[in-house]
Amino acid sequence: MTAAIRVTFVVLAAAVCMSLLTGIPHPSYACSCAQRSQEEYFYSSDAVFAGRVVEINQVPGGYGVVFEVYRYWKGLSENDGAVSVLTGRYEASCGYTFEEGGEYLTYASRGGISLEVGLCGGTQPLTFAGNELAVLGAGTVPSGSAVSADPDLFTTARPPDVVLIAIVAAIASLSAGLAALIIKKPKR
Give the type of residue at 91. E
Q: Strand 114-116 to strand 82-88: parallel, antiparallel, or no bridges (unpaired)?
A: parallel
pTM: 0.61
Nearest to 103 by CA among 140, 143, 71, 57: 71
Q: Which fold has domain 38-154?
A: OB fold (Dihydrolipoamide Acetyltransferase, E2P) (2.40.50)
Q: Strand 47-59 to strand 124-125: parallel, antiparallel, or no bridges (unpaired)?
A: unpaired
Give per-residue pLDDT as tens, 134-159. 999 989 999 865 554 444 444 433 34
Neighbours of 169 (CB within 10 A): 11
The domain locations on the chain are 3-26+161-183, 38-154
What sign does the CA torsion over 31, 90, 116, 159 have?
A: negative
Give per-residue pLDDT as tens, 115-126. 999 999 999 999
- Mean pLDDT over 110-118 rounds to 88
Give the type of residue at 72. Y
